[in-house]
Amino acid sequence: MNPRPTPEDIAASAQRVRASGRAPTVAVVLGSGWDGIAEAVDTPLDIAYAELPAFPALGVAGHTGTLRLGRLGGAEVALLRGRQHAYESGDAAAMKGAIRTLAAIGCTTVVLTNAAGSLDPTMRPGALMLIADHLNIAQRTPLHGEPGNDRFVDLRDAYDPALRQRAKDAATTLGLALHEGTYAWVLGPQFETPAEIRMLRLLGAQAVGMSTVPETILARHAGLKVLGLSMLTNMGCGMEAETLSHAHTLQVAQGAREAAARLLRALVPALVA
Ligand code: HPA
């Protein structure tokens, strides 16, 4: 199936991180709008994905492809600035090597962030949502070709309830609104039709997006705890008059960037405390 990354690629990537002298225990995958936190880490040290053979080569503008190591509050963190999406190559396992490297270097928790469309009229563009559960509408898996019984990953409480509570507590302390709901993963890169949005709403999803779910599956398979956060950048297609575009997504994401950074800054150290 997907021969890459090899175990050797993962070992070499982990070795490269260890050689930096840093030992992060929590990692954050930064989606559109969430990158503001990168400026808040102390003693930042950057490693280009190009130096990490298990990490993806990136295509989408606005994603830089750098692993930033540093301190946030009392925590040693790894920030993944850039991800590869399944819609780029058709490969749902695009982040396999990156997630497995995080496990190999001793991370126990990964925070997955994204930009998403809102399916709930009360969740407006710019709002933040905690992912409580997901719908794998794409019906793809990053675990094709995996051997053994470990591949039958239990996804109950995939988005760790205790970590979700810490996220709610952090938001309350900050006076920041944080919704909670189910995230539907579609493959993309095209946006949904109005009929698809009506279907997703009927199925009980509150947000729709093109990332995160493969990473959640990989992280649970690797034994990492997962927290998922969406920034709602638009209402689902057909819910309102607006025309969707990637430029619009990035523009709204820019507006909510500060709130997202405040939340991560308070929350991430609390995840490993
Ligand atoms: N649909 C899918 N993915 C998205 C959307 C959307 O409306 N907005 C941001 N990412």
Distance CA 65, CA 63 (A): 6
pLDDT for the residue numbered 2: 43
Distance 7 CA to ligand 1 centre (A): 33
Distance 209 CA to ligand 1 centre (A): 5
Distance 115 CA to ligand 1 centre (A): 7
Q: What angle do CA 160, 225, 145 make, to 5 degrees?
A: 115
Distance 210 CA to ligand 1 centre (A): 7
Beta carbons of 266 and 174 less than 8 angstroms apart: yes
Task: Encode pLDDT of 129-139 as tens digits.
Answer: 999 999 999 99
Task: Encode pLDDT of 237-273 as tens digits.
Answer: 999 988 888 888 888 888 889 999 999 999 999 998 7
Closest protein CA for atom 7 of ligand 1: 117
Q: What is the mean pLDDT of residues 3-11?
A: 86
Task: Encode pLDDT of 30-40 as tens digits.
Answer: 998 999 999 99
Closest protein CA for atom 6 of ligand 1: 117
For 7-272, CATH gives 3.40.50.1580
pTM value is: 0.95
Task: Encode pLDDT of 48-87 as tens digits.
Answer: 999 999 999 885 555 569 999 999 998 999 999 999 999 9
| Residue of 122, 127, 98 whose CA lies nearest to 112 | 98
Where is average pLDDT lowest: 1-15, 42-56, 229-243?
Answer: 1-15
217 band by pLDDT with thresholds 50, 70 and 90: very high
pLDDT for the residue numbered 13: 96
1 band by pLDDT with thresholds 50, 70 and 90: very low
Distance 191 CA to ligand 1 centre (A): 6
Cα 248 vs. chain centroid, distance in angstroms? 20
Domain boundaries, the chain: 7-272
pLDDT for the residue numbered 226: 98
Pocket of ligand 1 (CB under 6 A): 115-117, 186, 191-192, 208-210, 233-234, 236, 244, 249
Most informative mutation of 201, 210, 252 for ligand 1 (most atoms within 8 A of CB): 210
Task: Encode pLDDT of 98-111 as tens digits.
Answer: 999 999 999 999 99
Task: Encode pLDDT of 142-180 as tens digits.
Answer: 999 999 899 999 999 999 999 999 999 999 999 999 999
